[in-house]
Structure 1
């Protein structure tokens, strides 16, 4: 049976790299993430497929998603009745990879136009009755009012926060910390050097992405609210899965591990409150 295609205009091509990289990882001989949902998502989309990704790009995306998924699973293992917010979810099937238990409330949030696309893709349908979708800007304070505040929360934000201003990121963190009784935040963050490099990247310019926020020392974020505390940070080049890259990428990764500044170009950060 032919799959009904969901056309994407040029503006929404920004949604493609993530699922495409995860799908290509799943098609590889030794997948890192093993995301079959991503293959189904990509098969549903109709888009300009001219852009290419290196093996390093695919491995980096898979490593980042795998680590963030692991943090969520660990949190839910300690808090089987919790809330998960996947902010800026795009076309990611994270809830299907995690397969949360019946005591977990899961919310996927993105802009209304993105959610409209997402809802046309059968592979991204809610996994159960406790899985909800929110069509809103993450910077709009109103969406949080409708989410119960009686459970601990894990907030995931992959590929999102660097597109916001520092003021927007700070306001978001403060709203989350004051809304919930406790929880964790897991997100990837650029440092200022990465912001400058990404702005000149041809693929980034072609997608029309604007990156605004970066941070050198994640412990500095503790000053945003007295309840916030730094837990960990992890760069993809520190993962054992980096060995899946080619020899050139492995050499670059070894060199990056020798420089704290290069190591922090793009890494996952974990905070607790």
Structure 2
């Protein structure tokens, strides 16, 4: 896919991988419609991206708000005239065993991590079909490939993104729209700091999980964005980001049931 001159819609653009992707796309000459719930962070990303000389529009909204998503395509067309690339990157985390999680928190996570991906795809697919070449990029996770204890909600959402993306790719075969699913490993973002936890968890338990995550979330977001962008430009169906994700993806294929016996405890995993 040729990025220069394209129009990309990118969710979760206010920080982490989203911000890094926005800046990487801008450097390639891609115009941006940036989406994030945090208006201040979104503005910072947009200002940095504009230094590359591209047209950037800001759309502060909650991707769990279906009514906001429904009117977003019209807003993007008003600012850009077309859409060539949709990147569903926004995501949140929720740690804890299934029976420790409230219904409200479980639904909160699924609404952002999976339902928003579906709603954004439904909203923008008609516009993408109008282009000679277009692409949907859905960000799953390493935890969309493997499933540690203590991450039942997060894994459910990220496995759902993976399955949805793979099926959608087959359904769109022969159309101008390709589908890429991304599985980042340990990327040094703030997702662990903003994660919700089990009901009634004490601060000490939360700090243990944060310390464990910090040891493994090491790849700079800019490096992850570079890998993802290369995958998009090469029309790859799946992009695995990081050696940790690559190794574990192969181990899961070889030992789909018993791979956990060979692994140390993952961040957020609770036995």
Tell me which interval the TM-score lies in, with the shorter structure as reference length: 0.3 to 0.5
* TM-score (norm: length of structure 2): 0.46
